Amino acid sequence: MSTMSGSGDNAAPHVVEDFYGVVKLLSDGSVVRGDESDDVPGGVQWKDVVYDATHGLRVRVYTPRTAAAAAAGDDGGKLPVLVYFHGGGYCIGALDQSICHGFCLRAAYELPAVVLSVQYRLAPEHRLPAAIDDGAAFISWLRGQAALGAGADPWLAESADFARTFISGLSAGANLAHHVTARVASGQLAAVDPARFAGYVLVDPFLAGVERTAAEANPPADVSTLTVEMADQMWRMSLPVGATRDHPVANPFGPESPSLEAVALPAALVVASGGDVLYDRVVDYAARLKEMGKAVELAEFEGEQHGFSAAKPSSPATKEFIRVLKRFVHQGI
């Protein structure tokens, strides 16, 4: 269990927010965390590499071991690169947590692809936009690796086709992927060549707004993985203090959000789970991009709940999702 101290207070601190015992925010600013880490065996090789020494942030690199996977590469045996940001409402989650580690092992093997699972700072210790800044820092690191050629990390130099890089994420990680992609496409990351990004993938993106959608106002009766109350709590703990759910990070189409009309976004694959309280927001995200003339594929999974692709690895829906993802990564829209 880890603790981060905040400002001093003579009174005994009390719990202000408690997210199922996993992360607690106390009245004096302290944050108490449980241990989420876990590990599962996989069918690919993987290792951790530090990409930001200042903040001690790592990327977990996954590459397939098999000759068949190498043969599937379209560029001299090299494979597409899938950058992956884990979920957790910007407050919980970890790259070594089984739900994330297991998905990345599977994606690396079945796509096949070089999968890069990125660690980022969590709220409430580090409120937004810290996580998005970390994502941007990682993309700059990756661009540096691509520029090194044979001098890059040996696994990347051997297996990664940087010209086919896809930015992806689940839930909050999908929100993060959206914002990082928008930064790249709008030229805010000057050190990054936008042409290197072949697309982005948002799986059940964690979106919000002050005005409730129909699914939020009347959620499905069997919702279990993410409720409206849980989502609201995580936004309170992750957004800048005093911000509403219309903050540009939470609501890309909110009243203060910059327009995406002129931003040259790459092709997008957007995944919407029919049983998710965020379903309406995800479908609306895809529809708005289509109205702007962006290349968007919306993949809907009827009856599935938020995060099914990682939480239910053996389900028929997850197998179909992997198939859709594989086609998008290797063929595009």
List residues with catalytic annotation. 171, 276, 306
- 172-185 helix and 130-148 helix, angle to the nearest 10 degrees: 60
Total residue count of the chain as it appears in this document? 333
Q: Are 170 and 87 in contact (CB under 8 A)?
A: yes
The β-bridge partners of 239 are none
DSSP state of 29: S
Distance (Å) of CA 114 to CA 5, 206, 270, 305: 38, 25, 21, 27
Cα separation of 123 and 206, whole Å? 15
Q: Are 25 and 16 in contact (CB under 8 A)?
A: yes
* HEC secondary structure over 49-102: EEEECCCCEEEEEEEECCHHHHHCCCECCEEEEEEEECCCCCCCCCCCCHHHHH
